[in-house]
Amino acid sequence: MDSKTKAIVAHITLIGWIIALLLNQGENRDEFASFYIRQMLGLLILSFVITFIPVLNLIAWIVVLVFWILSIVGAINGEKKLSPYVGTYFQDWFKTL
C-alpha cells in the first residue's frame, strides 16, 4: 500500500487509524504516512477529551471537524498539512510513531 493511501486510511475512524499504523511498521514505514498517523492520533485524543467538556462540546467538535477536513484534504493532495495550532505539538509528542 502506498504512503498516500495509508495516510487517507488513518483518517477513517479509530479502526482506520489502527490499520494504517499496522501497515506502516518495519520496512514499510513511510514518513508521509507517519506524519498523518501522528496528526490523527492527536485529533482522536482531542476528540475524546472534548467529550468531557459539556459547555464547549459543540464548538470544540466543530473545530475538530474542521481540523480533520483540513488534514484529509492535505493527505489526498499529497501535502503535509499540520492541524492549525495543535499540529506541531502532535508531531512532537508522537514522533515515535
Spell out the domain ranges in the chain: 3-93
Name which of 11, 8, 3 is nearest 29 in CA terms. Answer: 3
Q: What is the pLDDT of residues 14-37, one digit of tens each?
A: 999 999 999 999 888 899 999 999
At 54 the pLDDT is 81
Residue 6 has pLDDT above 90, yes or no: yes
pTM score, two decimals? 0.84
At 33 the pLDDT is 92
At 93 the pLDDT is 92
75-79: long-range contacts at Cβ-Cβ below 8 A with a sequence spacing of 24 or more?
Answer: 75/4, 75/7, 75/8, 75/10, 75/11, 75/36, 76/4, 76/8, 78/4, 78/32
**Mind spelling out the 3-state secondary structure of 40-67?**
HHHHHHHHHHHCCCCCCHHHHHHHHHHH
At 56 the pLDDT is 79
**End-to-end CA separation in angstroms for the chain:** 18
